[in-house]
Amino acid sequence: MDSNQIPAKKSALILFLLRKAVVIALVTLIFGWAYARASPWAFASRQPAGFAYGLLHGAMMPLSLPSLVIGKNLTIYAAENSGRPYKIGYICGVNICGIVFIGPLFWRPRRPLPATSASSEKSQ
């Protein structure tokens, strides 16, 4: 390995980590803003929250993390709820939010399968 390659790899790593940090900071700000805008509307109901509100509150719960980390006291669960339907909706909302936002982080494009000698002989 050349001595020139080591600093290049370090600078590429630092640039990569810096980009990741900026993206995480921007996403955190956007999530916090979205939660602040939606929270008064989502938790304004005076009647017991049902399945649909449970789904909404569950989907919004991960968005509240940035605000909770900086010390804001936020509502993430309706105390006045309909019981089991609300809780099932809440769990489904959290899972759907996880699939939508976290799931793509684990997605990897398929690599083409290497051609085997049997398949290359058939094509000739």
Q: Residue 3 pLDDT > 60, yes or no?
A: no
DSSP 15-46: HHHHHHHHHHHHHHHHHHHHHHHHHHHHT--S
The residues spanned by each domain of the chain are 8-107
**57 in the Ramachandran plot: left (φ > 0), alpha (ψ -120 to 50) or beta?**
alpha
Q: Tell me the average pLDDT across 61-90.
A: 83
pLDDT for res 45: 66
Report pTM.
0.58
pLDDT single digits (tens) 95-116 = 988 888 777 777 777 777 676 6
pLDDT single digits (tens) 34-74 = 777 776 766 666 778 889 888 988 888 877 777 778 777 87
